[in-house]
Structure 1
Amino acid sequence: MPGRLRSRPSPAPTLRAERALLRQGHLLVAGMDEVGRGALAGPVSVGVAVVDAGTRTAPAGLRDSKLLAPEVREGLAPRLRRWAVAEAVGHASAGEVDSLGLTAALRLAGRRALAAAGVRPCVVVLDGSHDWLSTPRPRGTARREAWTVQTQVKADLRCAAVAAASVLAKTERDALMRALGVGEPRYGWAGNKGYSAPEHLAALRRHGPCHQHRRSWRLPTQDSGAVPPGAGEEPSPSGRMGAREPEHAGARRVEA
């Protein structure tokens, strides 16, 4: 239609930021990203992808996982595992989210991912402006982490290692939720991955929560339709909270 604006495809993330860190003398740089923050059920999952000075340009088609259709993410994941110097995904269960709180659970999942990767990066690049990976310490005390954390807004769009981490975390968590859904078919996790899709909310009101739900959250029940603020939502590439989109959303933003 005349006058109708067409959306431009998202530019591919690059290794520009990672290579700048490597030129500063860091031997290994890790990109890290999380998925499952806004889900009602299942774990929070954190992916890590490590690069070094010899790492080549990322596989074609890499984008932040929220911008890729499920079948594209699944096809990219094995290529990203071969591309990275080291990679892994760590999880913190729904019970750990309940007992530790969301931020501490993310920290635990991130540290599990780093341990599973089997290497010790000098720098970890996190998407966003908040360092949830480092242990909080009183102001003025020395940092005791084995790595330095660098936060970067929109790193999942700009940094290839962070985008790779997001795809790895997303595909592994999706597979985990499909497997969990076999034992708990009432909630439709194969389709909604634990987010607040209508069928999931309806099942919660009908059956109540199971052991995979985050009980510390104000889940909808037969007596109340309330959903915790931000549940079922993930940060959009702009950094704003956006409603979850269905799995068939194609190459547009899909549930993260």
Structure 2
Amino acid sequence: MRFERTFAALGHRVLAGCDEVGRGALAGPVSVGLVAVQLDSVRALKGVKDSKLLSAADRQTLAPLIRKWCPAWGVGHASAAEIDLLGLMGALRLAGTRAWTQVRETLTPDVVLLDGNHNWLSPAVQASLFDDVEAEDESACTAPVHTRIKADMTCLSVAAASVLAKVERDALMTEYAALHPQYGWEINKGYATEAHRAAIDQLGPSPLHRLSWRLGSARSDEEGPAAGPLGG
């Protein structure tokens, strides 16, 4: 929490760590975790680190501990269809807004610490003095957002957010696998494994695939959105 506590000197009392999972998957949602902490009283929580560095069993063990450790948390999801419609950045913002709304049911963070170098969480267009206040999206994140590269590896609040988001998204993909067992989502969680791409080549995409993305191996080995306005 060393870096998070530097925000207390700036007058902030409640900080929310934020991270996303599922950005590079071919199917399923993109998910955003948000974990709020009281800077003047938060204590360390052993074992928590970036979700990618933890086993599935470790994440399952840590998730309930994280929920008890923090005063408020939220996980928001944006579906594959919403990714196709809004693009990746717009879908991340939507998922983040849903997580922010959950946190605000308990308290409102003064500041957000976001993993990475791009602020996709704040509203895309900031309101001016001449905008209709009633027309603004009241659910959008209103706190200042600070980005930090590799925050998921150096900041406990962000690592905790990544664990909660990963656990929820993995659970969703396991549920979806029961509906579409041919793609192996219970194992690959929607990511671009060779077997997953081969199944798409053979069977075509499902309604839960990101249809605006490069999917089958016959099209491209590069992960990520296809070129064009829907790619994000």
TM-score, scaled to structure 1: 0.78
1:169 corresponds, among 165, 169, 194, to 165
CA drift of 1:209 comes to 0.5
- Does residue 147 (structure 1) correspond to residue 143 (structure 2)? The answer is yes
Distance 2:214 2:6 in 1: 44
Number of aligned residues: 212
* 1:76-126 deviations in Å (ceiling 9; x for gaps): 111011101111100000000000000000000001001012221111101
- Does residue 199 (structure 1) correspond to residue 195 (structure 2)? The answer is yes
Contact 2:14 2:109 in 1 (8 A): yes
Please name the residue that 2:42 is paired with. Answer: 55
- Does residue 17 (structure 1) correspond to residue 3 (structure 2)? The answer is yes
Task: Classify 1:179/1:203 alpha carbon distance in 2 versus 1 (closer, same or farther; 3 Å).
Answer: same
Secondary structure of the residue that 1:78 maps to in structure 2?
helix
Please name the residue that 2:84 is paired with. Answer: 98
CA drift of 1:16 comes to 1.1
Distance 1:141 1:149 in 2: 18
- Does residue 83 (structure 1) correspond to residue 69 (structure 2)? The answer is yes
Instruction: Give matches, 1:17-56, under 5 Å.
Output: 17-52=3-38, 53-56=40-43
CA drift of 1:147 comes to 0.2
Secondary structure of the residue that 2:43 maps to in structure 1?
coil
Distance 2:42 2:150 in 1: 22
Unaligned runs of 5+ in 2: 130-135, 226-232
The letter of the residue matching 2:56 is P
% identical equivalent positions: 50
Unaligned runs of 5+ in 1: 1-14, 233-256
Please name the residue that 1:7 is paired with. Answer: none
- Does residue 124 (structure 1) correspond to residue 112 (structure 2)? The answer is yes
Please name the residue that 1:209 is paired with. Answer: 205
Distance 2:3 2:187 in 1: 35
* 1:3-43 deviations in Å (ceiling 9; x for gaps): xxxxxxxxxxxx11211112322121000000000000000
Contact 1:126 1:151 in 2 (8 A): yes
Please name the residue that 2:229 is paired with. Answer: none
Please name the residue that 1:244 is paired with. Answer: none
CA drift of 1:136 comes to 2.7
Distance 1:75 1:197 in 2: 26
Contact 1:195 1:231 in 2 (8 A): no
- Does residue 230 (structure 1) correspond to residue 223 (structure 2)? The answer is yes
Please name the residue that 1:241 is paired with. Answer: none
CA drift of 1:137 comes to 3.3
Please name the residue that 2:132 is paired with. Answer: none
Task: Classify 1:141/1:227 alpha carbon distance in 2 versus 1 (closer, same or farther; 3 Å).
Answer: farther
Secondary structure of the residue that 1:124 maps to in structure 2?
strand
Q: CA RMSD in A?
A: 1.9
Contact 1:120 1:146 in 2 (8 A): no
Secondary structure of the residue that 1:121 maps to in structure 2?
coil
Contact 2:109 2:143 in 1 (8 A): yes
Please name the residue that 1:187 is paired with. Answer: 183
The letter of the residue matching 2:67 is R
Structure number having the greater helix percentage: 2
Please name the residue that 2:133 is paired with. Answer: none
Task: Classify 1:208/1:42 alpha carbon distance in 2 versus 1 (closer, same or farther; 3 Å).
Answer: same
TM-score, scaled to structure 2: 0.86
Please name the residue that 1:238 is paired with. Answer: none
